[in-house]
A and B are shown apart, each in its own frame.
Chain A
Amino acid sequence: MSQAIQAVETENLSLPPPKKRGNWFWEIIKGSTQAKIGLGVILFFTILGIFAPWIEPYSVHQQSGAVFCAPSAKHWLGCDDGGIDMVSLLIQGGRISLVVGFCATFVAMVLGGGIGIIAGYFGGGTDITLMRITDYFLVIPDVPLMIVLATLFGARLSIIILVIGILLWTGTARIIRAEVKSLRERVYVKRATSLGSSNRRIIFRHILPQVGPLLIANTVLTVAIAIFDETALSFLGLGDPTAITWGKIIEFGFLRTAVSAGAWWAIVPAGICVALVIMGCYWLGQAIEDALNPRLKVAHLSPRTFRLRPLVGRGSDAI
């Protein structure tokens, strides 16, 4: 029992603080199996996406087998309703799904990070106004609003990316703001101010590098939500009709009678790919967050942004 507690203490204390900029990421990856698996999954699908045109066994625009043909040596995961090879479709779909996920997250991070930093750094009226707006957007449910926006403004990939991005910034803005608020009071920021540094210089030289890791942990978790939301929008018929994504594959499976044809291979693998990427993001984001700040308590904020809090101890008897 006492050994367990001691072990816990040293374990917590020995978490390496991010000393050198840029190095922290590899420290975290090295220190956690969870992070390694997460990064591995994300990299696997990213590489598959980048090299999609060379990897795909068949063209995604041409029939290469019988309609709904079952998995075989020739077609590992069978064919869809148009006789198109499922493996090729999955690789191609992953490519676009990841692009949507990453781009939407980029939009959300620029918006959320920007608003968080401005609100936290300048404080006062700016802070109150921006946080009020954030509060409202945090409460208004994002999926229905996405549906409304996507219905009204049309089904194009760029619009889908914007719509998802615009609605995912709120959680990030809050977390970043809290961090910046405490950073602003640090001595080195005060010194820089007294030396006559401009606000812009302080934000870019001193604040941004400090919130960087937190922003990246958030980015990884947001990618998961963005991909999830893309599949939902696609399923409701609001995706880009010309693009193949994992969401579209699931939608087509549903609309084009894959269920009644018993063609599980046209639906099941796409969902597993989505789940794998989301779990990868979750594991990696979680590991970064735990390493950065073992006391980060965002759990009460909202179910959309909830995260597991770090373990207090490990081992079965370490109550």
Chain B
Amino acid sequence: MRGADYVIKRAAFAIATIFVAVTLNFILFRLLPGTAVTNLSRVPHATPALRHALEVEFGLDKPKWQQYVIYLQNLFRGNWGISFANQQPVWSNLKTDLANTIPMVLLGTVVSIIVGMATGIISAWRRGTKLDQVSTNIAIAFYAFPTQWLALVILILFASYLPSHGMSNDFLINPTPWEHFKDVMSHMILPSLTIALTLYGEYTLIVRSAMLETLGEDYVLTARAKGLPQRTIVRRYALRNAMLPTTTLIALSLGYIVAGAILVEAVFSWPGIGLAVYDAIEARDYPMLQGAFLILTVSVVFFNFVADLLYFRLDPRITE
């Protein structure tokens, strides 16, 4: 029963946070000088009557709270406004962008989790040795490199061997599905590699510290006293318990990956949500920016919620 309480409480918090973000979105974009009508009514022979008619059409004559209610209703109906840049509905723009971002980010993330866990475990196991020092300091360095800088360095190093721009080769005429797949995958390598490298450092540090924590526990000492081999101690005793903070932290950081992809996609022109944000900033395309901000926030909140649930599943003690 208490478990259900916990889940409901976390779900309520997640929904409330999304609500706060939505409200922030509404307020921030209305703090700008001028309204949507200011620009439209700037035509020859515009009269105050025209301006007023436009305001009525856009619902700007209504009080602010009523505008807010209408804004919320529209959000739920999938009406997120029209992009200034290409006159398409924001939601349909973002839908395709999101579908492009997810595979690229996912590939990089999976690679970084595997590599980061391996190096983290080895570092903790051999802590204090040269190997640990070197591996940890490399991890800190990759944690410290600016994302866009790392992307550019990879571009300088590999651009002559692998496609560096966009998602597919436009000059491939009538490709078979297999050819198309190969083409997209080869375009995906460099941006995914960048994402993997930026995350790898973080994951190494997380796994290493979680492992060190459990390696200091009494049950590990008991296992050693029983004369169990090191490999068993690390795998069966330390690693299993270290997975608890590790999984939740990884789930938490997944939410930030979509936001982190902004810089990577800008460098490699990967047509995803990050590039959409970059272009929207350049063109001051506010409806797109608003929509993208909402998606990025919702993804973070969602993964936060997933982390809470995982934590509950892995460690039922937290309800006590």
Contact = CB atoms under 8 A, between A and B. Distances in A.
Same complex for A and B? Answer yes
Interface in A227-271: 228, 231-232, 235-238, 247, 250-251, 253-254, 259, 262, 264, 267-268, 270-271
A90 to B, nearest CB: 13
B128 A315 contact: yes
B172 interface: no
Interface in B241-281: 245, 248-249, 252-253, 255-256, 259-260, 262-263, 266-267, 277-278, 281
B282 A275 contact: no
Contacts of B260: 143
B113 interface: no
Interface in B207-251: 208-210, 212-213, 215-216, 220, 224, 230, 233, 245, 248-249
Nearest to B251: A303
Contacts of B233: 319
Interface stretch (B43-51, B76-84, B140-148): B140-148
B192 interface: no
Interface residues of A, number: 55
Interface string B141-169: 10111111110110110010000000000
A16 to B, nearest CB: 22
Contacts of B216: 312-313
B145 A140 contact: no
B289 A316 contact: no
Contacts of A278: 143-144
B127 to A, nearest CB: 7
Contacts of B262: 143-144, 147, 232, 236
Contact of B215 (A231, A247, A319): A319
A236 B140 CA distance: 24
A135 interface: yes
Contacts of A13: none
**Smallest CB-CB A-B distances: 4 pairs:** A312-B216, A271-B149, A278-B144, A303-B253
A188 interface: no
A152 interface: yes
Given A306-B202, A306-B206, A319-B224, 13 more contacts: A149-B28, A231-B149, A232-B147, A232-B262, A235-B266, A236-B262, A247-B146, A267-B149, A270-B149, A303-B206, A308-B209, A316-B129, A319-B220
Nearest to A8: B216
Given A140-B297, A148-B28, A259-B152, A316 B127 contact: yes
B297 A250 contact: no
Nearest to A251: B148
A141 B145 contact: no
A139 interface: yes
B144 A279 contact: yes
29 contacts: A139-B300, A141-B255, A143-B262, A144-B262, A144-B277, A145-B24, A147-B289, A148-B289, A236-B263, A236-B281, A250-B152, A254-B152, A259-B159, A262-B156, A264-B153, A270-B149, A271-B145, A271-B150, A274-B144, A274-B146, A278-B144, A282-B143, A303-B256, A304-B256, A308-B205, A309-B212, A313-B216, A314-B127, A319-B220
B293 A144 contact: yes
A141 B296 contact: yes
B32 A152 contact: yes
A319 to B, nearest CB: 5
A282 B140 contact: yes
B47 to A, nearest CB: 30
Given A140-B20, A278-B144, A311 B282 contact: no
B291 to A, nearest CB: 11
Contact of B146 (A136, A238, A250, A279): A250
A308 B29 CA distance: 39
Interface in A272-319: 274-276, 278-279, 282, 299-300, 302-304, 306, 308-309, 311-316, 318-319
Contact of B140 (A135, A279, A304): A279
A151 interface: yes
B21 A140 contact: yes
Contact of A237 (B140, B156, B281): B281
A12 to B, nearest CB: 11
B129 A300 contact: no
A131 interface: no
A299 B277 CA distance: 31
Nearest to A137: B20
